[in-house]
């Protein structure tokens, strides 16, 4: 989890990488190898694998986060797993170091267990409320909403609203027909500039006036780490 130090945060103002709260000169930001799109806003605690137009106030174990996502504070992923199908879940049975620290003597069976937790995958246009706890390895579908304080233990279907402990489906954001149309349209592939005239508050009007292909400006996905983004920006501006 190597950090990146911003000697002068103003140097990145033109790249499209934003932070909230604002960075201080000399501040370290973790996860320097994380790949993300520009036009994204990160927490000074660390970079997240965000898509364009997404923001995160949290830093957690994620493989990929789509575009137009809104992530609140204190979102986390569950910690290391334990062997719940064994006689005991205690790591003393498979961790030699723990046995040594506790002064255990004699021969051990040398059992092995992988405690690691898989990262989560989050689709596009997802809203995660504050204090959400996610099980490692789950996928949150496009357009989903997870209520604040929820404990999510399984995949979340596109455009569903879930909440509780454990989280369950409260309702769908839209009818099946509208969900199908939104998933098929994949409007998040395009620059917001060519969509901002649309009425996002009314799905039917959104579909009705959605621009024809010749009027759309697709935003190619380009995920790089912070060093690569800065190098690319400097290269483009030196020509």
Residue 100 has φ and ψ, to the nearest 5°, of: -65, -45
Q: Where are the alpha helices (DSSP H) in 51-167?
A: 96-101
63 catalytic residue (yes or no): no
Q: Are strands 27-29 and 55-56 parallel, antiparallel or unpaired?
A: unpaired
Strands (E), 7-135: 17-19, 27-29, 40-42, 55-56, 62-65, 70-71, 76-77, 120-122, 127-128, 133-134
Torsion, Cα of 173, 208, 197, 39 (10° steps): 50
Q: Which residues pair with 68 in a beta bridge?
A: none
List the structure tokens of 130: 């504050």
Cβ count near 71 (within 10 Å)? 26
Query: Catalytic: which of 82, 84, 197, 229?
Result: 82
DSSP H or E stretch at residue 146: strand 145-146
Specify the pairing of strand 55-56 against strand 70-71.
parallel
Nearest to 49 by CA among 135, 137, 121: 121
d(CA 139, CA 143): 12
C-beta of residue 129 within 8 angstroms of C-beta of residue 170 = no
Instruction: Give me the active site residues, please.
Output: 82
């Amino acid at each position: 989890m190597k950090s990146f130090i911003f000697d002068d945060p103003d140097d990145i103002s033109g790249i499209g990488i934003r932070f909230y709260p604002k960075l201080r000169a000399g501040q370290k930001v973790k996860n320097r190898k994380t790949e993300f799109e520009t036009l994204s806003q990160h927490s000074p605690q660390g970079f997240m694998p965000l898509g364009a137009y997404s923001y995160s106030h949290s830093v957690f174990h994620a493989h990929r986060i789509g575009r137009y996502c809104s992530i609140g504070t204190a979102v986390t992923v569950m910690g290391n797993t334990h062997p719940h199908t064994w006689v005991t879940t205690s790591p003393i049975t498979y961790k030699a170091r723990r046995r040594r620290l506790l002064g255990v003597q004699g021969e051990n069976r040398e059992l092995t267990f992988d405690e690691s937790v898989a990262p989560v995958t989050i689709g596009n246009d997802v809203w995660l409320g504050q204090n959400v706890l996610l099980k490692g390895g789950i996928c949150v579908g496009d357009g989903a909403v997870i209520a604040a304080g929820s404990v999510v233990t399984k995949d979340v279907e596109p455009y569903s609203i879930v909440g509780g402990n454990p989280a369950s489906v409260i309702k769908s954001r839209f009818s099946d027909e509208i969900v199908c149309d939104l998933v098929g349209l994949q409007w998040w592939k395009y620059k917001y500039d060519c969509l901002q005239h649309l009425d996002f508050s009314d799905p039917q009007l959104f579909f009705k006036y959605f621009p024809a292909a010749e009027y759309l400006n697709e935003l190619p996905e380009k995920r790089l780490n912070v060093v690569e983004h800065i190098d690319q920006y400097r290269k483009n501006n030196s020509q």
